[in-house]
Structure 1
Amino acid sequence: MTGVSKKKTINPFSKKDLMWLAKEWKLKVSEIKDLLGVTGSSQIEVLENHLRKTGLWNK
């Protein structure tokens, strides 16, 4: 993903990380939390892949 920090994972309990990712992906924090629950992963690459496959992310 272009323009994103070199982070490989986020802390799902960190409000700062959730807000950063929501802003970066132009999603709501609640959507990020749902995504974390669905994928069961906090790895950014896994989250991106799920968004692309479901068509929820069009970057």
Structure 2
Amino acid sequence: MIVDCTSSQAVADQYADFLREGFHVVTPNKKANTSSLDYYHQLRHAASSSRRKFLYDTNVGAGCR
């Protein structure tokens, strides 16, 4: 299981690879879900074909101070 608590685009770009390699991915990182639609479809396909879970949740105003 990969738990990503960052807001890193570089880490989010690896989610599909993590899923294909057999890891579940849990994250509040918004980058993967707000990237290109093509990447979102890659994530969904990687999760379903490897029978892994891609779980995410986020909050509003995380960057506000």
TM-score when scaled to structure 1? Answer: 0.31
User: Which structure has the larger Rg?
Assistant: 2
Larger RCO (CA within 8 A; separation ≥ 6)? 2
TM-score when scaled to structure 2? Answer: 0.29
Which has a greater percent of helix? 1
Which has a greater percent of strand? 2
